[in-house]
């Protein structure tokens, strides 16, 4: 069964955004993530930022990229929930670590944090509803 059919068959809260809305939000957020995270990594490579500042960005990026393979390919809802909690927590960690160095990077993470907060509540709801 294609993953989208599997996803559509899951029990979900009534407020679940449509797949088109989810795609649109990520289409907006991914460029922001690429630019801001790229800036952090370049600054760390140039030794203008400690690698400890870049670490939560790296963890966030890996966890973010793993979500869809875990959720859609493995169809492992509980593991996807653990993964999105890592994404959510590392956004906070990123903001705390980058704020003293480059506040603009922290500020541009706010929409990412808001969207991932919504997605995290949705993911936890889907997990509970399909347990």
What is the per-residue pLDDT across 6-20, written as a single tens digit (0 to 9) for each? 999 999 999 999 989
Domain boundaries, the chain: 17-129
CA 90/CA 109 separation, integer angstroms: 11
Mean pLDDT of 20-49: 97
| Tens-digit pLDDT profile for residues 37-95 | 999 999 999 999 999 999 999 999 999 999 999 999 999 999 999 999 999 999 999 99
Name, in order, each residue with C-beta under 8 angstroms of 13's C-beta and a sequence gap of 6 or more. 122, 125, 126, 129
Tens-place pLDDT, residues 88-129: 999 999 999 999 999 999 999 999 999 999 999 999 999 999
């Amino acid at each position: 069964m294609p993953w989208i059919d599997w996803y559509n068959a899951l029990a979900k809260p009534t407020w679940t955004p449509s797949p088109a809305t989810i795609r649109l939000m990520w289409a907006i957020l991914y460029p922001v993530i690429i630019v801001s995270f790229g800036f952090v990594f370049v600054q760390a490579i140039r030794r203008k930022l400690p690698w400890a500042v870049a670490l939560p960005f790296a963890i966030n990026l890996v966890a973010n990229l793993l979500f869809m393979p875990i959720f859609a390919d493995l169809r492992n809802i509980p593991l996807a929930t653990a993964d999105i909690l890592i994404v959510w927590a590392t956004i906070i960690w990123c903001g705390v670590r980058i704020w003293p160095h480059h506040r603009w990077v922290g500020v541009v993470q706010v929409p990412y944090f808001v969207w991932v907060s919504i997605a995290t509540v949705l993911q936890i709801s889907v997990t509970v509803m399909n347990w």
